[in-house]
Structure 1
Amino acid sequence: MNKTINIQKNLIIFGIPLLIIGIMVFITKSNIFSTNPSTLSIGITFDLLLTVPLVYLLLIRKTNIPKTTVVPFLIVGIIICSLILPTENHYYLNLFKTWVLPIVELSILFFVIFNIRKAIKRYKLNKTESFDFFTTLKSTCYEILPKGAVIPIVTEIAVFYYGFVHWKKRKLKDNEFTYHKDSGTVPLLIAIILIITIETITLHILLAKWNTAVAWILTFFSIYSGIQIFGFLKSMLKRPISIENNKLFLRYGIMNETTIDLADIDSIKISSKDIELNTETRKLSFLGELESHNIIIKLKEENVLIGLYGIKRTYKNLALHVDNKIEFKNRINNALQQWL
């Protein structure tokens, strides 16, 4: 019953703004518009840029939907307005783009920065939890962006943040553990970056003799791939595994992560033996069988492993590498004993 009510509410909330947009598109295709395009263009512009966002805002005012989700409707209105109106009738649209849109963009940026700074201050006041930029950025963006757009955008931001902004070293706490020092993944990623660099230079020289534009396009994508891999590599150094508030936060940079309630752990053992990977048994590392493991955690119930760009996979057994495996196991066992 509740599910049906929620569906009906969503149909109203999203259906009415979309209906208004549809009517505006229909008007531009009708004979009425062709006889008086100048006057109707003004009305259509104001409806798409102001009426639609305002109606949507009024519809969600008593719901749990973040008010900041009005921004996508604003952007959709700008795009549709640009497509359906003749270029000579873009005067008010161009005014909006020039004076209002930058203010909206800056407001979003300040909102993100404000929430991240607030999270940092909260972390400094309460030392029981570790501040994690990637997690904070995700929770902040979920408040202002459509859910489907959050993970891709957050991933791209995180790549540049960990790759080029976050250089300061931080001393690990007793409840935090590294996983990159002895795993061999860091040297492998560095080797891949070097290979990409060499191949990019070679291909650019060869392709430039044939077509300069194609050479630069492929070079751009190669450089961008190298930047992403570098960001992935750096994120491994900055996002340690941690045990906090009866939860185990398993991270593999920004590539893979999962959170396990300590009460859900059936067993944990130190083992480097080969295991068969399947839908029930997975590795924390995104490299899978290419990387060795020294810890195997078995759960009582299925859990979810979240990979790059929000890809989710279930597991019940998880193999991973921890540099200080003995201390890691002992700390979890001690936490489990306290829990019990």
Structure 2
Amino acid sequence: MLPLSNFISARMLAFLLLTALLIGVEIMVTQMVVFGKNPILLSVGVLFDLVFVTTALFYWLVANPLKLASNRLLLIALVMFRVALFILPKSTQLPNQLWPFLLIFSEAMVLIIAGLRIRTIVQTYRHVRPTTDPETALRTSLATVFGDRAAAFIFGEGIILYYVLVGWRLQTDVPAVAKTLTTHRQSGQIALTVGLLVVGLIEGVAVHLLLTRWNPTVAVGITILSAYGMLFFVADAIATVKRPSYLSDTQLQLRLGVRWRATILRSRIAHVSFISEKPARQTGLLNGSFLTAPNLLVVFTEPIIVSGPYGIQRKINQVALFVDERAAFNQYLCSK
């Protein structure tokens, strides 16, 4: 009898091979002369084959035998929908008309999955929340439904919009007995971020006007992407002010905007050094300052994991920071 791991691998391999074969066939179809004569009808056929046929194959070969959750089917359908739009010729009218639908479809898939498993998400959040902060609890609850990687991406997108829309209304969540570690009051980080946004806005307008003469559609697309990218800096500035790092009796809660976060036991902090410039790049060093030079170097007794946006993780053994009251921080650290 085959081990369970071999059983799973064989079924997944069969699904991948059949899917690759189907994609190859559809690519050949899009390059045939008959496709140019009936682009809309055949585009619909390609979309149907790649989305519905592959989803059915996944259900028959993988999901049903392995008793996987139904949300996996929706994710497969979404991925194959993207593949279909990628291989369809750009000259056909249908794909261009479907791009807005793709965005709606993507968001709808996430909402449908969340709606089907909302009870699980809420129960997990309530179970985890008493022992952790709201952001970690939300990410953990999303991971129970979407998986760690997908949850990290969804959380990364959501947290940016969350801080942009309601961030300024948030109240501090630093415990009363903890030492707050602000990083923006003396560093000028917020002023520098505002200046960066103003420059980005001016450059974005200039680039938009130049691209409009060449291709208005491309100009609009790049402008939207640039504007969305600027939201990251807005969210980071708000998170820096409203959700600063803090040092408690047992741990250092490191929160650097929406860029990096980690929970570090105080026993893992080896020593703290005062610095006046950015350290040379080296393995295991994280530069946590933003738009300014760090003034503090925290060294750990063993490597720790810091989490970044969209599920990015790094293993570090020291971090360079700018702390407004570094002397007070060092004194508080040594006094406990």
2:96 maps to what in 1?
none
- Relative distance call for 1:66 and 1:285 in structure 2 (3 A) is farther
Equivalent residues in 2 for 1:142-291, closer than 5 Å: 142-145=143-146, 148-171=149-172, 172-174=174-176, 175=178, 177=180, 178-205=182-209, 208=212, 212-243=216-247, 246-269=250-273, 271-274=274-277, 276-280=279-283, 282-285=285-288, 287=290, 290-291=292-293
1:108 is aligned to 2:81: no
> What CA RMSD, in Å, does the superposition of the two structures yield over aligned residues?
4.5
1:48 is aligned to 2:50: no
* Offset from partner CA, 1:12-34 (integer Å, 9 cap, x none): 3522433454576689889xxxx
Deviation at 1:77, TM superposition (A): 5.3
* Offset from partner CA, 1:32-74 (integer Å, 9 cap, x none): xxxxxxxx9999986533452254233443xxx8764443223
Q: What percentage of aligned pairs have identical amino acids?
A: 19
2:16 maps to what in 1?
18
Deviation at 1:201, TM superposition (A): 3.3
Q: Structure 2 CA distance, aligned partners of 1:84 and 1:274? A: 49
- Relative distance call for 1:111 and 1:326 in structure 2 (3 A) is farther
* Offset from partner CA, 1:84-137 (integer Å, 9 cap, x none): 99xxxxxxxxxxx9xx9998543323368656655664577x3x64323xx344
Deviation at 1:83, TM superposition (A): 9.1
Q: Structure 1 CA distance, aligned partners of 2:86 and 2:204? A: 38
Q: Could you tell me which runs of 5 or more consecutive residues in structure 1 were left unpaired when the two chains were aligned.
A: 31-39, 86-96, 336-340
Q: Structure 2 CA distance, aligned partners of 1:72 and 1:24? A: 18
TM-score (norm 1): 0.67
Greater Cα shift, 208-217 or 234-243 = 208-217
The answer (yes or no) to whether the contact 1:298–1:318 under 8 Å persists in 2 is: yes
The answer (yes or no) to whether the contact 1:304–1:314 under 8 Å persists in 2 is: yes
Greater Cα shift, 254-263 or 49-58 = 49-58
2:91 maps to what in 1?
none
Greater Cα shift, 276-285 or 100-109 = 100-109
Deviation at 1:197, TM superposition (A): 1.9
Deviation at 1:187, TM superposition (A): 0.9
Deviation at 1:273, TM superposition (A): 3.5
Tell me which amino acid in the other structure corresponds to 2:295: H
Deviation at 1:82, TM superposition (A): 8.3
TM-score (norm 2): 0.68
The answer (yes or no) to whether the contact 2:124–2:140 under 8 Å persists in 1 is: no
Greater Cα shift, 225-234 or 317-326 = 317-326
The answer (yes or no) to whether the contact 2:184–2:190 under 8 Å persists in 1 is: yes
1:57 maps to what in 2?
63
- Relative distance call for 1:12 and 1:102 in structure 2 (3 A) is same
Q: Structure 2 CA distance, aligned partners of 1:102 and 1:275? A: 41
Q: Could you tell me which runs of 5 or more consecutive residues in structure 2 were left unpaired when the two chains were aligned.
A: 30-44, 89-101
Q: Structure 2 CA distance, aligned partners of 1:313 and 1:25? A: 36
Greater Cα shift, 8-17 or 166-175 = 8-17
Deviation at 1:253, TM superposition (A): 1.0
Deviation at 1:186, TM superposition (A): 1.1
SS at match of 1:142: helix
Q: Structure 1 CA distance, aligned partners of 2:301 and 2:211? A: 55
Q: Structure 2 CA distance, aligned partners of 1:169 and 1:15? A: 48
The answer (yes or no) to whether the contact 1:292–1:321 under 8 Å persists in 2 is: yes
Q: Structure 1 CA distance, aligned partners of 2:138 and 2:303? A: 27
The answer (yes or no) to whether the contact 1:285–1:291 under 8 Å persists in 2 is: no
SS at match of 1:190: helix
Q: Structure 1 CA distance, aligned partners of 2:284 and 2:333? A: 20
